[in-house]
Structure formats: C-alpha cells, structure tokens
Amino acid sequence: MRVVADIPNPHVKITLHSYNGKYILKLEKANLEQIYKIEETEVMGDEGAKALIDEEFIEAVVNRFVEMRDAFVSTVRRNG
C-alpha cells in the first residue's frame, strides 16, 4: 500500500493510500477510524480523490465518530 498524501485537517487525521486499483481514504480520531475504498476509475487521479474531502464530508465523518464513541462507551458501561 502506497501513501499518496497526508491531508491536513484540524478535526481528524486523514491519509490517502493507493492499493490494488483503489484509493483507500483513512480517517482517524483518537482510537477510532473510518476507511473508505474508492475505485481509481471513479475519480480523476490523486487530485480527484482528494477533492472528495469537502467540508460537508468532514462534518459527516466527525458526527459519525461521535456516534461511534457513544456506542462504544455505552457497551462498555453495559458490559464492562
């Protein structure tokens, strides 16, 4: 897997990889991560993949991280 870019963002760590005909978009916050796989044919090169990362997408990702954290905290409280 080849790292294409580390994309600066104040809310999450974003790394774009290329592997086996796909772009792998990895977003991390604390101990959680989200991964999106994008066929290389769906975007116009590295810049096309980077262009998918707009403010609306980042807002949805951050909200999903909050939901993920809340779900995990809830299960730890119930079962821990």
**For the segment 11-27, what is each residue's pLDDT rounded down to a tens digit?**
999 999 999 999 999 99
DSSP 8-state secondary structure symbol assigned to residue 80:
-
Closest CA to 33 of 17, 52, 54: 17
φ, ψ dihedrals at 65, nearest 5°: -60, -40
Tell me the pLDDT band of 80, cut-offs 50, 70 and 90: confident
From the CB of residue 23, how many other CB atoms can be counted at a distance below 10 Å?
A: 22
What mean pLDDT comes out for the span 6-13? 97
Segments making up each domain of the chain, as ranges: 2-79
Q: Is the pLDDT of residue 28 over 90?
A: yes
pLDDT digits (tens, 9 = 90+) for 37-64: 999 999 999 999 999 999 999 999 999 9
d(CA 17, CA 54): 18
Distance CA 44, CA 7 (A): 17
